[in-house]
Structure 1
Amino acid sequence: MNKINQMKNEFKKNGGILKTIELNEMGFSSRQIGKLMQDGIITRIKYGFYELREYHPKEEVIIAKLFPKAVIFLESALLYYGYTDRIPLSWQIAVDKDSNKKQYEIDYPFIEPYYIENKYLNVGVSTIEIEGVPVKIYDRDRTMCDVLRYETKIEREVFAKAISNYVADKEKNIRNLLRYAEIFNIKNKVQTYIGVRL
């Protein structure tokens, strides 16, 4: 197998994205990487990250590769769990409030970072696998807490539908919901919007 095919296979194994260092480890110098871009084989997504031109990775895979600590959040998580059928205009991701904000200035995919205090960032994180790449997302119970916390940022129709779908979901975990509600100090809201319907 020639070096280019080997590289293409490596891209495909990694959700279509590789870092400069990974290409270097495969024996590609900076000059050779430049030539691959010139020949239209790879494209730079952002500094230090490349995608294979012929392979179109899913947007959540690109996000997970570019920002491994980011968590799929709020309406983007609602869409994943089937609690809404409205596709957000941009991917909502939760990131550390102390992280460098400049890194999130990318052209594609469209992202909307929410800067979260570190102590809350890892509450209720799940990992799903998409195209062989681990992607962080808040579980359905944490997502409902976020819906209640960010009520004013969500359209009424999306908000109401999300709650109805959560209440009807057999995979919800009320114990987790109440534990998270305590952490975020929203127990009254959980009781008002969800508790009365259980």
Structure 2
Amino acid sequence: MRTCELTKEGISYRILQNLIEEGLVEKIKYGYYQWQDEKAFTEVSVICTLFPDAIICDLSAAMYHGYTDRVPGIWHIAVDNKSARNKFKMDFPIIKPHFIDANRLDIGVSEGNIDGITVKIYDRERVVCDCLRHMNTMDGEVFNTVIQRYVKDKEKDAAKLMEYAARLGVEKKARRVVGVWL
């Protein structure tokens, strides 16, 4: 719920503060609130509502595809690099936006289902390409696990991986790191 929606329904600032103090409403970020009951929204539903154009990426997508067992404490989302930086600052859920050029943003976008919610998420090949792009800054164990599980994945598409790698500028890394195993 947004503050303006609450005001339309006759909930004043004072009433809202009382609801927050009683634990019935939670502030998600400035101007956004949610009810806290058995139907309270999951983190993914909040992300999809607040950022409908965002794409689940990086370690969050790797976990979805079963390429890592490490549960990231934050949600990684890909957004257009022209997006306002300050709109992603929030207490719940914790997100890390990856600002990506518009011409690269839609490469490898697919649909997934997390907690019963349809989300935009990067496919297997895009996840591997993103890991290759960040291989020097990623935890080595996580990186190796992602690559090994991709190689063993029966649904992998090596041709698509190389196509994405060429478009994303990581073709040499893909041939050197993943190509050896394929």
5 Å-filtered alignment, 1:70-85, equals 70-85=54-69
Q: Shift of the alpha carbon at 1:194?
A: 1.1
- Aligned residue in 1 for 2:107: 123
Shift of 1:137: 1.0
Task: Please tell me whether residue 43 in structure 1 is matched to residue 26 in structure 2.
Answer: yes
Residue 68 (structure 1) shift? 1.0
| 2:157 pairs with 1:178 | no
Question: Is contact 1:92–1:113 with CA below 8 Å preserved after alignment?
Answer: yes
How much has 1:30 moved relative to structure 2?
A: 4.2
1:154 correspondence with 2:138: yes
Q: Which runs of 5+ in 1 are unaligned?
A: 1-17
Asked whether the 8 Å contact 2:57–2:77 carries over to 1, the reply is yes
* Match of residue 172, structure 2, among 176, 184, 188: 188
Q: Distance in 2 between matches of 1:135 and 1:48?
A: 24
Who is 1:29 aligned against? 8
Report deviation, 1:85. Answer: 0.9
Distance 2:42 2:31 in 1: 19
Matched residue count: 177
Q: Please list, as runs of the form range in 1=range in 2, the aligned pairs for 1:31-110 lying within 5 A after superposition.
A: 31-32=10-11, 35=15, 38-39=18-19, 41-54=24-37, 55-110=39-94
Tell me the TM-score normalized by structure 2.
Answer: 0.85
Q: Is the 8 A contact 2:56 2:75 kept in 1?
A: yes
By percentage of residues, which structure has more helix?
1
CA-to-partner distance for each residue in 1:15-72, whole Å, 9 max, x for gaps? Answer: xxx5567x67xxx824237547744544342345332211343222221111111111
Cα RMSD, aligned residues only: 2.2
Q: Any conservation in 1 of the 2:44–2:117 contact (CA below 8 Å)?
A: no
Q: Deviations over 1:135-159 (max 9, x none)?
A: 1110011000000011112111111
SS class of match (1:86): coil
Alignment TM-score, normalising by the size of structure 1: 0.79
Task: Please list every run of at least 4 consecutive aligned residues from structure 1 whose deviation after the TM superposition is greater than 6 angstroms.
Answer: none
